Amino acid sequence: MKLLTLETTCDETAAAVVDDRLHVLGSVVASQDDLHRRYGGVVPEIASRAHLERILPIIDRTLQQAGIGLEQLDAVAVASTPGLAGSLLVGLVAAKTLCVVLDIPLITFNHLQAHVYACRLASGREVFPCVGLIVSGGHTSLYRCPNPLEFELLGATIDDAAGEAFDKVANMLGLPYPGGPSIQRAAQRGNPAAYRFPRALVRDTERLDFSFSGLKTAVRYTIAGPGRPDFEKVKLSDQQVADLAASFQEAVVDCLVAKAFLALDQTGMRVLCVGGGVAANARLRQRLAEEAQRRDVQLHIAPKELCTDNAVMGAIAVERFKAGRFEPLDVDIQPGVERKTG
């Protein structure tokens, strides 16, 4: 069985071909970083137009890599939630069209659940049941995942996503976009204890939510100094930038580590899977590894190329294929993030 998977939720246009044994036969990712860099963040209209130009050539290249023709596909799967509306639509319409033309079933999947599944792919063995922590530019969410078809949202950010905070703080510090890698680089020369930034909700041992907007504001006020709201005019030394980057990074990492292990305590699960662009962060990886070892928790963090957006993680659709979970051709996108129930 061969599946074409498509990913167009945000600013990466990606396609992959995977088989029922989770072998990756082809995978192509086109990043749009160069198109959005000058704006310091993803511009939705630019993103959807770029997807439109790229999706068909990328599907072609992926099939070529896999050495197969369209007629050898058994189904097409596409990430249909959550994401930017215009971007999601391009992927879904491409998938539906292929399904109509080839007369094969359509599968949709949740992009965040696919990020958790990236750990299953990378580890090469079973990771379920597990707690999934997804930290990206658009999302910071914790899931209880009893099996690859069942995901219960345990908590999420109530304001900014962790990656969004990295990007915005990098901008304040005059560091290039995307902010995560820039802050990580600057932080290597900095002192994480130089500034004491807030760790929102960390002392709340019931709730599994995150909040990063107060932290972002705290960095802004620290740069401006008392009574100087026009922080753009402040000139920071290289050492100040490094110390601010390191102190900010440490605060984000503290929050992520605390809530991930609280989720493990609350669910009684012993396996933690981490994905999303921010999971590429070296300090986060180090702290999670230390804590997992201390608590005898099995930790799976996807390798960098599977942490950032890609279509290989769409292999979660293999599980849906096996369970016969197909979608009608009038299925729609769901741009918004799901909310906790109960």
Number of H helices, E strands in the chain: 11, 10
Rule CB under 5 A: is residue 140 a binding residue for Zn ion? no
Query: Quick one: tokens of 33?
Result: 């970083």
Report the b/e string of 70-108 with b at 16+ CB within 10 A.
Answer: eeebebbbbbbbbbbebbbbbbbebbbebbeebebbbbb
243 binds, among ligand KG4, Zn ion, none (CB under 5 to 8 A by kind): none
Q: Please give the Cα distance from 189 to 106 (Å, whole number).
A: 49
Which of 136, 141, 211, 267 is in the footprint of Zn ion by CB under 5 A?
A: 136
Rule CB under 5 A: is residue 7 a binding residue for Zn ion? no
Rule CB under 6 A: is residue 276 a binding residue for ligand KG4? yes
Q: Please give the Cα distance from 231 to 326 (Å, whole number).
A: 52
Q: Please give the Cα distance from 292 to 160 (Å, whole number).
A: 26
Residues touching ligand KG4: how many (CB under 6 A)? Answer: 19
Rule CB under 5 A: is residue 110 a binding residue for Zn ion? no
Tell me the closest approach of the beta carbon of residue 309 to Zn ion, in angstroms.
4
Rule CB under 6 A: is residue 277 a binding residue for ligand KG4? yes
Which residue lies nearer to ligand KG4 by CB, 29 or 269?
29
Contacts with ligand KG4 in 101-140 (CB under 6 A)?
A: 136-138
Of 44-52, 131-139, 155-163, 237-245: span binding Zn ion (CB under 5 A):
131-139
Q: What are phi and psi of 173, to 5 degrees?
A: -90, 0
Site residues, Zn ion (CB under 5 A): 136, 309
Site residues, ligand KG4 (CB under 6 A): 10, 136-138, 163, 166-167, 178-181, 184, 276-278, 280-281, 308-309
